[in-house]
Amino acid sequence: MDQHHNDHLDVGTTADPTPGYCKYYVKDGDDTYLPCGLMANSMFNDTFKLMNPDLEMREDQIAWEVDRTFRFRNPDGYPEICDDNYLCLYELYPGIISREDGFKDEHFMVWMRAAALDTFMNKYGRIDQDLKKGDTLTFEVTARFVVEPFNGGKALIVTTNSWIGGKWGKYNYIIEFLLLFSISYPSSSTTLLPCSLPPLLH
């Protein structure tokens, strides 16, 4: 997978890739992909909404601090340049990435941190409140990221802030998605599914 992981993306100083910069997703007719590359244009785009009225799932502070602070910035002239001959992230992922956020969307940052293995988990959100034994979390899942064409799989996982779930600072619970790849070329469709997780155990 061509990952689009160099200084042009990291510092967001230019909209135009240099020759040979990306192998895939460079042009669509007269329009230039911003950013270019297979990885940036095959982002995991399922969404999860926590339905428990007494709990909040936050989707900030899920990317690495260095990514939020330094590596991901929008190019000069953004977002006005998207009205010209560029296909920007908010146009490629409507309802997922906002025009305001662009490259600074934290779900995009998380996705662009390439995994070393073909099975991996990425952070999606966090819950700061305490949960009790027997509590049930209910999520509304909008499933867009199709895995069947490459014999893959995906799952929604809630982990605790422990050695087995990772040390995520002060947060009590982390919501992650797991992906299993056989090959790395997803397609896309949209389905709305209700999803209820089993009771959490301490």
> pLDDT per residue over 167-182, tens digit each?
445 556 777 777 765 4
Q: How many CA atoms lie within 13 A of 89 on its CB side?
A: 32
pLDDT of residue 21: 73
Q: Cα dist. 192→14, 95, 201 in Å?
A: 37, 14, 28
Mean pLDDT of the chain: 77
Tokens at 193, concatenated: 């599914």
Amino acid at 133: K
Q: What is the chain's percent helix, strand, coil content, to nearest 5?
A: 15, 30, 55
Residue percentage of the chain with pLDDT more than 70: 73
pLDDT of residue 165: 47
195 neighbors 140 (Cβ within 8 angstroms): yes
pLDDT of residue 150: 84
pLDDT of residue 187: 36
Question: pTM value?
Answer: 0.77
Low-confidence ranges of the chain (pLDDT < 70): 1-20, 161-172, 180-202
Beta pairing, strands 119-127 & 47-50: unpaired
d(CA 126, CA 41): 25
CA 6, 7, 11, 16 torsion: positive or negative?
negative
